[in-house]
Amino acid sequence: MTRAFAFLFPGQGSQSVGMLSELAAEHPVVRDTFSESSDALGFDLWALAQDGPADKQKDTRNTQQLMLASGVACARVWQAQDGPAPVAMAGHSVGEFAAMVASDALSFVDAVNLVKQRAELMADAVADGVGGMAAVLGLDDDKVVAVCAEAVQQMTASGDATGPVVEAVNFNAPGQVVISGHLSAIEVASGLAKAAGARKVMPVPVSVPNHSALMRPAGEKLMPAIDALDWHLPAVPVVQNVAATLPADVGEMLESLKVHVFSPVRWTQSMATLVEQKGVELFIELGPGKVLTGMGKRIDKTRPVYPVFDSGTLASALADARVSDTAQQDA
């Protein structure tokens, strides 16, 4: 029996000052990718990646571009090393756009411009300091959903006329769900989650309430920009966040992308789809940090997840992927 692997691209929250510096020193294509992005954006994205500051990296206008460029850069490094091809891909939140580029569904420059507009619309949808996200650890998905509903009910009953929003939006792994919405509502929901037995509730380093209903105006404004681009069905299948499925055609793919910013990320289900429909036995995370690697271990301990963000991690991932590739050729 042969092994198959999938690429995974991380989203916001994986960025860090100095990200991919060691990989860039060994592989010029990393800097080239960031330069291509910088030319389209009109500012030095690599300088921001290396020098920060962290607060500026956390601004969604910058974070989304950092994650797009880093994911594509790592995929290009893999290709330059003659790494074998994955059987499928998936990207977490904005990482889905890196997956679209890596799978030849969209050009990198088009993705940079689209993500720029996406980030600006999302940043403008909610005033600074009003919205955010938090990770709830140690509760089942259904319990987190119920806690959010209870928080809204309590705030509304107490006379909060702002229309408080807090929702479970990232179903990342068993016992790991991210909530999003108004910071005031997140605070109430966090208290309820702890009372319900949550092991921990931590803020996520982002500047906007991603994937919540507060992002619907941004998503609706972005729809015409999505329609205007030249899309193709991915050459390597991409499991999309919204339905955790493989799109049957370009139309279905675009419908998912159009509601992406205000719909939940069904990551646990997406990983299951990769296993069940594409036979994936090994995952490779392309980008800074190990966020998806950690999630993967919580989802399924039987399938290895390799991060790729420097020469050492690249070598390890390539070695196992090439063993799998050799096995497939010999089968």
d(CA 62, CA 116): 8
Catalytic one among 93, 103, 180, 207?
Answer: 93
Secondary element (H or E) of residue 303: none
Reference 113, options 280, 225, 241; nearest CA is 225
Locate 29 and state its tokens: 């294509």
Question: Which DSSP category does 85 fall into?
Answer: P
Closest CA to 88 of 221, 252, 270: 270
27 is catalytic: no
Long-range contacts of 253-261 (CB under 8 A, 24+ apart): 253/105, 254/226, 254/227, 257/96, 257/226, 258/219, 258/222, 258/223, 258/226, 259/219, 260/96, 260/211, 260/219, 261/118, 261/122, 261/210, 261/211, 261/215, 261/218, 261/219, 261/222
Angle (nearest 5°) at CA 164 between 160 and 170: 155
Q: For 228, phi and psi rounded to 5 degrees?
A: -75, -15
Contact 95, 71 (CB under 8 A): yes
Can you read off the two tokens belonging to residue 96?
A: 């889905």
Tokens of 216: 């619907």
* Set 27, 211, 260, 263: catalytic member: 211
Known active-site residue 211 = yes
Q: Is residue 172 within 8 Å of residue 267, measured between CB atoms?
A: yes
- By annotation, the residues acting in catalysis are 93, 211
